[in-house]
């Protein structure tokens, strides 16, 4: 529930911090459920946002 809120709010508000938090939660949840493909995709997207805004990885 929180992950969906973070992703939706981060996307609609344009907040890279919320979007990165949502992607990190998505990656964690996916990894814990065994969906490594989705986990890696979320990590790659989060790192791309970090690179784009000059933030830490």
Indicate the domain borders of the chain: 2-53
Band of pLDDT at residue 6, cut at 50, 70 and 90: very high
Residue 33: pLDDT above 90? yes
pLDDT for the residue 36: 98
Encode 10-45: b = buried (16+ Cβ within 10 Å), e = exposed.
beeeeeeebbbbbbebbbeebeeeeeeeebeebbeb
pTM of the predicted model as reported, rounded to 2 decimal places: 0.87
> What is the average pLDDT value for the chain, to the nearest integer?
94
pLDDT for the residue 1: 80
Residue 57: pLDDT above 80? no
pLDDT for the residue 19: 95
């Amino acid at each position: 529930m929180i992950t969906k809120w973070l992703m939706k709010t981060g996307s609609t508000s344009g907040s890279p911090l919320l979007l990165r938090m949502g992607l990190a939660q998505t990656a964690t949840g996916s990894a814990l459920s065994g969906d490594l493909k989705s986990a890696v995709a979320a990590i790659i997207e989060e790192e791309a946002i970090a690179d784009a805004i000059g933030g830490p990885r």
